[in-house]
């Protein structure tokens, strides 16, 4: 039975259990946040060293795939959220529905979208460009969408651009600069790149879930309400995964681009969502509003980890 369990999924489950039993506190939070930053930066450096300049240029110029991913993130998701709310208004209470609609307005993740695209052997260059662009645009589009949905005045918090640039783009550019010298070495040591991809995700999961646990994830809502939130989040993810797969096929994108659309277009960023929520909503409401996002974050990691491994093993986009 153990041989049949996806090893990466087993690691993710073990990480969640560890975070639930032994979450990081105090200085430990700073240590793991710093470790996550280092591992993510290292992942982007190795990706930059491994990718050829031609692949990067093709990724930057692929406007069709960027348009498809951004449309999934900022158009399809909000429409689906409003449709679910209209169809099932009594499924969740008001604060939980606010949280679900808020997560639908958020940008895509960066590190996990790119890591899963890499694991599935998709178009990593396009994923890097689209996911990074999504986060930069999300600084402005997310408050705008929240304002449209809830009719509230919002700010933009433009200071969030610098962490994206310093943590993601700078290491990737450094890897590209070093590519003539270490590019062949990076290709020969693919296991190191795989360890970097998956290790960064495990550290992010532990850090994020520890924060959720220390904030009282298991005590703030009755189990029934938490279960309903999980069902809505899982249903939303399944619908989005199906639509992104369909969009890739209808758009006649090549296999690598279809994989990037699936993994970039179906993600929502916890790292961006929590600080944005703290700006847009009152402090008393933030904890409950981000709870659906925290649950969705875990669900998307588990589901997409399995999907990415299977896509990578099969060698096709089905």
Judged by average pLDDT, the poorest of 2-6, 270-274, 292-296 is: 2-6
Tokens of residue 18, six digits: 């560890």
Tokens encoding 53:
């300049």
The answer on pLDDT for 312 being more than 90 is no
pLDDT at 83 (0 to 100): 94
Pull the structure tokens for residue 26.
Answer: 């105090």
Alpha carbons 179 and 185: distance in angstroms, whole number: 9
The Cα 242–Cα 273 span in angstroms is 24
For residue 5, pLDDT over 80 is answered with no
Q: Which pLDDT belongs to residue 153? A: 47
| Residue 104's pLDDT band (cuts 50, 70, 90) | very high
Structural tokens at position 194:
């795989």
Q: Range with the lowest mean pLDDT among 4-18, 149-163, 179-193, 261-275?
A: 149-163
Kindly tell me the burial class for residue 180, based on how many C-beta atoms sit within 10 Å of its own C-beta (0-12, 13-18, 19 or more).
exposed
What is the greatest pairwise CA distance in the chain?
A: 59
Token duo for residue 317: 């986009």
Q: pLDDT grade, residue 49 (50/70/90)?
A: confident
Evaluate if residue 3 carries a pLDDT over 60. Answer: no
Lowest-confidence region among 66-75, 92-101, 195-204, 300-309: 195-204
Average pLDDT of span 174-193: 80
- Pinpoint the alpha helices (H) of 215-290: 223-250, 255-265, 270-280, 283-289
The per-residue pLDDT of the chain, averaged, comes to 81
Task: Between 153 and 271, name the one with better pLDDT.
Answer: 271
pLDDT of the residue at 217? 64
For the cut 70, the answer to whether the pLDDT of residue 174 exceeds it is yes
Residues 6+ apart with CB under 8 A from 197: 43, 115, 118, 119
pLDDT bracket for residue 193 (50, 70, 90)? confident
3-state SS track over 129-161: HHHHHHHHHHHHHHHHHHHHHHCCCCCCCHHHH
Q: pLDDT value at position 154?
A: 47
Please identify which residue in the block is written with the tokens 């240029």.
57
Distance CA 127, CA 39 (A): 18
Predicted confidence (pLDDT) at residue 139 exceeds the cutoff of 60:
yes
Predicted local distance difference test score (pLDDT) of residue 81? 94
Instruction: Say which residues have a Cβ less than 8 Å from residue 29's Cβ, sequence separation at least 6.
Output: 207, 210, 211
């Amino acid at each position: 039975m153990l041989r049949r369990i996806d090893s990466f999924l087993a690691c993710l489950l073990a990480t969640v259990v560890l975070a639930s039993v032994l979450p990081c506190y105090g200085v430990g939070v700073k240590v793991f946040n710093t470790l996550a930053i280092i591992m993510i930066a290292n992942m982007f450096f190795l990706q930059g060293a491994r990718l050829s300049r031609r692949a990067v240029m093709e990724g930057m110029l692929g406007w069709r795939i960027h348009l498809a991913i951004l449309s999934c993130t900022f158009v399809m998701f909000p429409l689906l959220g409003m449709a679910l709310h209209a169809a099932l208004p009594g499924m969740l209470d008001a604060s939980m529905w606010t949280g679900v609609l808020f997560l639908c307005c958020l940008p895509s993740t960066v590190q996990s979208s790119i890591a899963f695209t890499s694991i599935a052997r998709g178009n990593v260059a396009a994923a890097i460009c689209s996911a990074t662009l999504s986060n930069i645009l999300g600084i402005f589009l997310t408050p705008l969408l929240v304002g449209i949905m809830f009719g509230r005045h919002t700010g933009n918090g433009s200071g969030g651009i610098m962490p994206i640039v310093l943590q993601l783009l700078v290491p990737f550019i450094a890897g590209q600069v070093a590519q003539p010298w270490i590019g062949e070495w990076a290709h020969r040591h693919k296991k190191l790149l795989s360890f970097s991809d998956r290790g960064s995700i495990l550290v992010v999961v532990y850090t994020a879930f520890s924060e959720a646990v220390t904030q009282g994830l298991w005590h703030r809502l009755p189990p029934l309400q938490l279960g309903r939130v999980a069902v809505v989040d899982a249903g939303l993810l399944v619908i989005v995964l199906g639509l992104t797969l369909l969009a890739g096929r209808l758009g006649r994108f090549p296999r690598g681009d279809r994989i990037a659309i699936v993994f970039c277009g179906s993600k929502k960023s916890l790292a961006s969502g929590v600080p944005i929520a703290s700006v847009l909503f009152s402090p008393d409401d933030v904890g409950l509003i981000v709870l659906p996002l925290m649950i969705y974050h875990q669900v998307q990691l588990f589901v997409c980890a399995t999907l990415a491994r299977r896509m990578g093993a099969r060698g096709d986009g089905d």
